[in-house]
Chain A
Amino acid sequence: MDVRKTYKLFVNGEFVRSESGRAYRPDGKVNVPRGSRKDLRDAVRAARTAFPGWAGRTAMNRGQILYRAAEMLDGRAAQFVELLGGGARARRELDQSVETLVWYAGWTDKLSQVTGTVNPVAGPYFNFTIPEPTGVVAVVAPEETPLSGFVRRLAPALCGGNVVVALAAESHPLAALTLAEVVATSDVPAGVINIISGQRKELLPWLANHMDINAIDTAGCTPEEIKGIEEAAAGNVKRVIKVTQDEQSPYLVAAFMEMKTVWHPIGV
């Protein structure tokens, strides 16, 4: 029997339809939910609630969970390759995605050693700087590589202890929406990753001026879109992160972190 799948949004650990009831057909065949601003609102609320728990976990535990996500993704390799159109290129994109997850899983407990510092100061203080997660990060997934591009933006934000509200690639949302099934079986706490599909043009302004989003990753945006985002993001001084989508570096994790410097008196 051919069971046709209903793709859904992933909000607060649950697979839900858009509250608007709308759908669109990115490839002319499959109905995909067309998320609304209220779906984004719900996702941000879920993420904000999940943030202290995720940020408060030990770095090692976050690494274990990211690694588990890599395992789950690898276990569904055949499904994802088919979803990405099959062939060597799809296979390569999948392998890259798995590797990215494993790579950032290893970085969780090494991040503060690399990006943190002990600072020499001219006074009786022990002075050090440590990275802390900034909070709710919005990720706009790139269109060209709907899986690996998405994972490459998702993983560094999660690695540092941030929570994510992601906008799936508008033209190829199925990879991101199916990745939600991987996330759901990887011990990622509810609300830490939320994935919304829909039209960028409609949703971007709401992401950009949302006061409870602390950073926005614009990997999938055009220069004009980035300009609009930067203007709207000024409202709560969001971090607007602009990198080329293929980058992979611990300093990308640092881009989502707040650097906290502590002055600890010596000899009192």
Chain B
Amino acid sequence: MPATRLTPFIPSHNPSMATALSLTHLGSLMRGVRSVDEVGADERAASLAKRSIKKSSKLWALDLAIRCMDLTTLEGADTPGKVAAMCAKAIRPKPGDSTIPSVAAVCVYPLRIADCVEHLRGSDVRIASVATAFPSGQSFTPIKLAETEQAVRAGAHEIDMVIDRGAFLAGDYQRVYDEIVAVKEACGAAHLKVILETGELGTYDAVRRASILAMAAGADFIKTSTGKVQPAATLPVALVMMESIRDFVRETGRPVGFKAAGGIRTAKQAIAYLVLTYETLGPDWMTPERLRLGASTLLNDVLMQIDKERTGAYQSPDYFTID
């Protein structure tokens, strides 16, 4: 992908481009996306996942995993009380231990933003809200935009939107692109994470196309999954997305963040994503500004692993607060 072809697509380079873009231009962008070596991606991800991180490096990685975590609850049964408890845990993951950092953000449904605003007041923990007819994205664009605007007004610092997979899989890239551009505009100052829902995209080639499309349309982060579809985040898919980010940054100079979400339940998995990030995007991405791990049940396992390293004894979930 030569820089000349991609540069005009970047909103920061061309703010009025959304309407000016024609289907042929976007088509040529999408055709220019190189295909992915599937076997190669699987093997590279598998070999990096085997890397052994021990002792002080492990403690550092676990600390980073917490600082990069989006503590998530996305259930129909979420109540203000449950969100309040999660917010308390987000600020101080382990009561009585100030050496454990706060997580990066909490991730909730739009209706629960107000609870987060109330309970996170005075802390550095950000509020992320899903929006745009999460998790399917199958709704009318004006409704998605209105939802985004209201979420930002309610106090969300970050918006996790889903792409319209129906349109993407049907080849209607223009529609997907325009929608992301419009949502980005509706976000205003809020950060936009674009969920590709890779489990529904089918191939690594499609994942790479969707990644480039989302970044070109102005995504601040690209995110693997909603967590509502199996398979959710996998290491090879993460690798494909990170390589897309790397290539995009190389060409445009605009850094884009990566968020893995769905199915990350153990500290070991989290460390594998950190290794993958380090090896693909480098040390500049080892920060919550550019890397997030979305998870609802990961935090306790990370805390248990930290205690295991500190005390030398295997830990029990009995002694940690409920997720």
Which chain A residues have a beta carbon within 8 Å of chain B's beta carbons? 41, 44, 206, 209-212, 232, 235-236
Chain B residue nearest to A210 in the complex (CB): B314
The 5 residue pairs across chains A and B that have the minimum distance between CB atoms? A212-B316, A211-B316, A209-B313, A210-B314, A211-B315
Q: Enumerate chain B residues within 8 angstroms of A235, measured Cβ to Cβ.
A: 313
Contact A41 B316 (CB under 8 A): no
- Is the C-beta of B140 less than 8 angstroms from some C-beta in chain A? no
**Chain B 61-105 per-residue mask, 1 if CB under 8 angstroms from chain A, else 0:** 000000000000000000000000000000000000000000000
Chain B residue nearest to A209 in the complex (CB): B313
Contacting residues of chain B (302-322) with chain A, CB-CB under 8 angstroms: 312-319
Contact B312 A212 (CB under 8 A): no
Chain A residue nearest to B315 in the complex (CB): A211
Once bound together, how far apart are the Cα atoms of A206 and B308, in whole Å? 11
Contact B316 A236 (CB under 8 A): yes
Once bound together, how far apart are the Cα atoms of A232 and B316, in whole Å? 15
Q: Enumerate chain B residues within 8 angstroms of A211, measured Cβ to Cβ.
A: 313-316, 318-319
Q: Enumerate chain B residues within 8 angstroms of A210, measured Cβ to Cβ.
A: 313-314, 316
Q: Enumerate chain A residues within 8 angstroms of B315, measured Cβ to Cβ.
A: 211-212
Which chain B residues have a beta carbon within 8 Å of chain A's beta carbons? 312-319
**Closest beta carbon of chain B to A159's beta carbon, Å:** 24
Of the candidates B312, B314, B318, B319, the one whose C-beta lies within 8 Å of that of A44 is B314
Q: Enumerate chain B residues within 8 angstroms of A236, measured Cβ to Cβ.
A: 316, 319
Once bound together, how far apart are the Cα atoms of A159 and B250, in whole Å? 64
**Closest beta carbon of chain B to A213's beta carbon, Å:** 8
Main secondary structure of the interface of A (DSSP, over half): helix
Once bound together, how far apart are the Cα atoms of A230 and B314, in whole Å? 17
Q: Enumerate chain B residues within 8 angstroms of A232, measured Cβ to Cβ.
A: 313
**Closest beta carbon of chain A to B207's beta carbon, Å:** 32
Chain B residue nearest to A40 in the complex (CB): B314
Chain B residue nearest to A41 in the complex (CB): B314
**Closest beta carbon of chain B to A50's beta carbon, Å:** 15
Once bound together, how far apart are the Cα atoms of A209 and B318, in whole Å? 15
**Closest beta carbon of chain B to A208's beta carbon, Å:** 9
Once bound together, how far apart are the Cα atoms of A39 and B141, in whole Å? 53
Once bound together, how far apart are the Cα atoms of A235 and B314, in whole Å? 11
Q: Which of A41, A206, A210, A212 has the most CB of B within 10 A?
A: A212
Once bound together, how far apart are the Cα atoms of A236 and B314, in whole Å? 11
**Closest beta carbon of chain B to A238's beta carbon, Å:** 11
**Closest beta carbon of chain A to B317's beta carbon, Å:** 8
Once bound together, how far apart are the Cα atoms of A199 and B318, in whole Å? 29
**Closest beta carbon of chain A to B319's beta carbon, Å:** 6
Once bound together, how far apart are the Cα atoms of A15 and B268, in whole Å? 24
**Closest beta carbon of chain A to B193's beta carbon, Å:** 33
Once bound together, how far apart are the Cα atoms of A101 and B319, in whole Å? 35
Q: Enumerate chain B residues within 8 angstroms of A44, measured Cβ to Cβ.
A: 314
Once bound together, how far apart are the Cα atoms of A41 and B315, in whole Å? 10
Q: Enumerate chain A residues within 8 angstroms of B313, measured Cβ to Cβ.
A: 209-211, 232, 235
Q: Enumerate chain A residues within 8 angstroms of B318, measured Cβ to Cβ.
A: 211-212
Q: Which of B314, B315, B316, B317 has the most CB of A within 10 A?
A: B314
Once bound together, how far apart are the Cα atoms of A212 and B319, in whole Å? 9
Once bound together, how far apart are the Cα atoms of A68 and B173, in whole Å? 62
**Closest beta carbon of chain B to A214's beta carbon, Å:** 9
Q: Enumerate chain B residues within 8 angstroms of A212, measured Cβ to Cβ.
A: 314-318
Q: A211-B315, A212-B316, A212-B318 are in contact. List 15 more A-B contacts (CB 8 A).
A: A41-B314, A209-B312, A209-B313, A209-B314, A210-B313, A210-B316, A211-B313, A211-B316, A211-B318, A211-B319, A212-B314, A212-B317, A232-B313, A236-B316, A236-B319
Once bound together, how far apart are the Cα atoms of A209 and B315, in whole Å? 9
The contact sample of 6 A-B pairs, CB cut-off 8 A, is: A41-B314, A209-B313, A210-B316, A211-B314, A211-B315, A211-B318
Once bound together, how far apart are the Cα atoms of A206 and B318, in whole Å? 18
**Closest beta carbon of chain A to B6's beta carbon, Å:** 46
Once bound together, how far apart are the Cα atoms of A232 and B311, in whole Å? 12
Q: Enumerate chain B residues within 8 angstroms of A206, measured Cβ to Cβ.
A: 314
**Closest beta carbon of chain B to A196's beta carbon, Å:** 14
Once bound together, how far apart are the Cα atoms of A212 and B318, in whole Å? 8
Chain A residue nearest to B313 in the complex (CB): A209
**Closest beta carbon of chain A to B52's beta carbon, Å:** 12
Chain A residue nearest to B317 in the complex (CB): A212
Q: Which of B315, B316, B317 has the most CB of A within 10 A?
A: B316
**Closest beta carbon of chain B to A127's beta carbon, Å:** 27
Once bound together, how far apart are the Cα atoms of A206 and B316, in whole Å? 13
Chain A residue nearest to B312 in the complex (CB): A209
Q: Enumerate chain A residues within 8 angstroms of B319, measured Cβ to Cβ.
A: 211, 236
Once bound together, how far apart are the Cα atoms of A42 and B318, in whole Å? 17
Once bound together, how far apart are the Cα atoms of A211 and B319, in whole Å? 9
